[in-house]
């Protein structure tokens, strides 16, 4: 089968022929339909310090996917061939303390599809049956392909009660934008999204009814005054990883406010804890999704009308994955969705025909 692989210890990814996997007992084989490019995949492409320490060469990458079960491993009885599914990319055993306490997403004994295990940027993917999430027909493939990052947004946004509250989202990347949409859908009174990228802020406005602030051009305090936020935001969702964004958020929070912190700073950062203590702020670190509570919650949100479809800005054939990564690296893309197998989409067939005619 064809797969996108980290073949060499340098910048880039490559489409390669690899062996089609067979499901072991307790696993399923999924024929992949669509995949989403994640920021993690971009780190792997760039071969940065994190990727060099986390990725073995060669590794098939990718972990955002939707597909169809085509084969069941021995002892899998609760699933069936033909089911349309996505799945949790974190693979954990149930022997550790966190997992046995009902918090498998906190497990120290964890592997990850597309990082330490063969990934979803391939025609077929094997994953544990316990990680499979069957999907309702109401969720189209394009959205199903990005449930993984939507889950991060849902986990962060629903960490605190949002109904009637004013919410600040720092960072208008795809997950930040989706978190803002979740906050609005969950009943937030006012939602403000900040960034320094005008294109990302425009995308945020296309996805969610929110006020956007380019903090490189105007102070957030001006917007707070104009919106009659009062003594500050009740809930903050830090999605950027920028130390300056966190500082701005702390200043903008109301006393007793609550912050869900998903952004990852590129290096250790200084924090003025005095301001946090004097404001009695609550900070919750967010990593991934709650297994599997978040999956149930985000599917219910989508079935009840949550719309994040506009966050998908690029739909490409898997054969054109390089263009997808170029769009991501440019900073102008939202989510990029690839169709599998390579070369079978309408656009890809048209392109191939045009090359033949030429």
**Quick one: 142 and 13 in the same domain?**
yes
Q: What is the CATH number of the domain that holds 201?
A: 3.40.50.720
**Quick one: 97 and 132 in the same domain?**
yes
Structure tokens that stand for 183 in this block: 């906050």
* Cβ 38 vs Cβ 57: under 8 Å: no
User: If residue 353 lies in a helix (H) or strand (E), which one and from where to where?
Assistant: helix 346-357
Q: Is residue 108 part of a domain?
A: yes
Label residue 94 by pLDDT band (50, 70, 90).
confident
**Quick one: 185 and 99 in the same domain?**
no
Structure tokens that stand for 57 in this block: 């060469």
Q: How many CB atoms lie within 10 A of CB 341?
A: 18
Label residue 46 by pLDDT band (50, 70, 90).
very high
Kindly name the residue from 43, 106, 116, 211 that is annotated as catalytic: 43
Q: Is residue 295 part of a domain?
A: no
**Quick one: 81 and 199 in the same domain?**
no
Residues near 271 by beta carbon (within 8 Å), at least 6 away in sequence: 246
pLDDT at position 352 is 46
Q: Provide the domain count of the chain.
A: 2
Alpha-carbon gap, residue 126 to 74, rounded angstroms: 13
**Quick one: 107 and 242 in the same domain?**
no
Alpha-carbon gap, residue 101 to 71, rounded angstroms: 32
pLDDT digits (tens, 9 = 90+) for 221-268: 988 888 989 899 999 999 999 999 999 999 999 999 999 999 998 889
Residues near 154 by beta carbon (within 8 Å), at least 6 away in sequence: 178, 179, 182, 289, 294, 297, 298, 301
* Cβ 14 vs Cβ 7: under 8 Å: yes
> Which range of residues forms the domain containing residue 217?
159-285
Q: Is residue 358 part of a domain?
A: no
Q: pTM for the complete prediction?
A: 0.92
Q: Does pLDDT of 344 surpass 80?
A: no
Instruction: Point out the domain boundary residue: 270, 285, 300.
Output: 285
User: If residue 305 lies in a helix (H) or strand (E), which one and from where to where?
Assistant: none
Q: Is residue 152 part of a domain?
A: no
| 211 included as an active-site residue | no
**Quick one: 11 and 131 in the same domain?**
yes
**Quick one: 139 and 255 in the same domain?**
no
pLDDT at position 348 is 52
Alpha-carbon gap, residue 236 to 231, rounded angstroms: 14
**Quick one: 131 and 9 in the same domain?**
yes
**Quick one: 26 and 55 in the same domain?**
yes
* Cβ 28 vs Cβ 79: under 8 Å: yes
Alpha-carbon gap, residue 358 to 352, rounded angstroms: 10
Segment 310-319 mean pLDDT: 98
Kindly name the residue from 40, 60, 170, 294 that is annotated as catalytic: 40
Enumerate the β-bridge partners of residue 214.
195
Q: Is residue 303 part of a domain?
A: no
**Quick one: 127 and 170 in the same domain?**
no
| 90 included as an active-site residue | no
Q: Does pLDDT of 357 surpass 50?
A: no
């Amino acid at each position: 089968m064809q797969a996108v692989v980290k073949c060499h210890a340098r910048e880039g990814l490559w489409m390669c022929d690899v062996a089609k996997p067979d499901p072991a007992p307790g696993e399923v084989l999924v024929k992949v339909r669509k995949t989403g490019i994640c920021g993690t995949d971009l780190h792997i492409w760039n071969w940065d310090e994190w990727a060099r320490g986390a990725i073995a060469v060669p590794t098939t990458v990718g972990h955002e996917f939707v597909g169809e079960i085509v084969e069941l491993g021995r002892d899998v009885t609760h699933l069936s061939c033909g089911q349309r599914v996505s799945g949790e990319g974190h693979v954990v055993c149930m022997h550790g303390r966190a997992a046995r306490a009902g918090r498998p997403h906190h497990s120290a004994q964890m592997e990850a599809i597309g990082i330490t295990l063969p990934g979803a940027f391939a025609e077929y993917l094997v994953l544990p049956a316990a990680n499979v999430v069957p999907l309702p027909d109401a969720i189209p493939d394009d959205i199903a392909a990005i449930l993984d990052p939507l889950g991060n947004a849902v986990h962060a946004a629903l960490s605190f009660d949002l109904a009637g509250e004013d919410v600040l989202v720092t960072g208008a990347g795809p997950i930040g934008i989706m978190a803002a949409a979740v906050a609005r859908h969950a009943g937030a009174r006012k939602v403000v999204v900040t960034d320094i990228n005008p294109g990302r802020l425009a995308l945020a406005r296309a996805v969610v009814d929110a006020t956007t602030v380019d903090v490189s051009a105007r102070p957030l305090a001006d917007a707070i005054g104009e919106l009659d936020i009062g003594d500050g935001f009740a809930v903050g969702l830090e999605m950027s990883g920028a130390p300056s964004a966190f500082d701005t958020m702390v200043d903008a929070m109301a006393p007793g406010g609550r912050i869900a912190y998903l952004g990852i700073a590129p290096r250790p950062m200084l924090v003025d804890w005095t301001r946090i203590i004097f404001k009695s702020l609550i900070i919750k670190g967010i990593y991934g999704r709650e297994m599997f509570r978040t999956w149930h919650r985000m599917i219910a949100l989508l079935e009840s009308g949550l719309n994040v479809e506009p966050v998908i800005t690029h739909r490409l054939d898997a054969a054109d994955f390089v263009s997808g990564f170029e769009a991501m690296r440019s900073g102008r893309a939202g989510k990029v969705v690839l169709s599998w197998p390579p070369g079978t989409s309408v656009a890809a067939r048209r392109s191939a025909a045009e090359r033949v005619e030429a």
